[in-house]
Amino acid sequence: MAANSADLHGRTHRLELGDQTLREWDAVVLASDAETGVVLDRSAFYPGGGGQPPDHGVLLWGGVQTRIVGVRKGDDLALLPADGDPLPPVGTAVRGAVEDDRRTALMRTHSGLHLLSGVVFRDFGALVTGGNMEPLEARMDFNLPEVPVGFRDAVAAACAAEVGADRAITTTTLPRDVAFSTYPDLIRTATNLLPDDLEIVRVVDIAGLDTQADAGTHVASTRQIGGLEIVKIENKGKGFRRLRVRVTD
């Protein structure tokens, strides 16, 4: 099946954008270098972006394996091998495999942040000013001038209710003008971070709660996130509050 142009980065068809449950696939090596990395014709390694770190995993070929510990984004997506691991030569057929526990944890965490931002926007009108995540823990910053009385408990209770509601989480790709005309509140960050030359926008929707432009990987429903614990609220300067969260089972 031919790749949709929105699913291409350089010479690589990004399989994870079409199937976020995919963990293993077959591919052919297009470039291979210890310094610059390995380029595949097809890859399900999420390369990182939007606060979500890149995937880890392995390439299996010729009875050996190459561990992948990062991704470099340039004209191509270059998979970065672990120091000292053998490199598959150009033209080699390989089996790629994403580390499932890490990817699944990051999917739950990323979806949890979308749920959190949706709740805070809906209930308090605050936009996101920054964020970052690691597997099952994250931070998100909001342009919230004051912390209302009972804010922490209210947000925690609302997030728990949305997890319990088991809202569907879906992704679609749309032409930029169609995306913004369909979803006027598509940007939930205080600053629009979408490149001006981005023609196709990937939209992540939590049914009935939150719709955002986003290129990350997500679980299929809010129940799959698990618990979302508000660990700490920090004052990061006038009008800015940082929420540290933990995803729990």
Residue 186 scores a pLDDT above 60: yes
Triad 34, 24, 169: Cα angle to 5°: 115
Q: What is the C-alpha to C-alpha distance for residues 58 and 82, in angstroms, rounded to an integer?
A: 10
Three-state DSSP at 141 gives strand
Per-residue model confidence as pLDDT tens digits over 105-126: 999 999 999 999 999 999 999 9
Q: What is the C-alpha to C-alpha distance for residues 71 and 201, in angstroms, rounded to an integer?
A: 22
55 and 27 Cβ atoms separated by less than 8 Å: no
Q: What is the C-alpha to C-alpha distance for residues 92 and 139, in angstroms, rounded to an integer?
A: 41
Predicted TM-score of the model (pTM)? 0.92
Q: What is the C-alpha to C-alpha distance for residues 163 and 155, in angstroms, rounded to an integer?
A: 12
Region 87-96 average pLDDT: 98
Helices (H), the chain: 100-124, 151-164, 176-182
Hey, how many other C-beta atoms are within 10 angstroms of the C-beta on 193? 9
Hey, how many other C-beta atoms are within 10 angstroms of the C-beta on 99? 16
Residue 150 scores a pLDDT above 90: yes
What's the pLDDT band for 2 if we cut at 50, 70, 90?
very low
Region 59-75 average pLDDT: 95
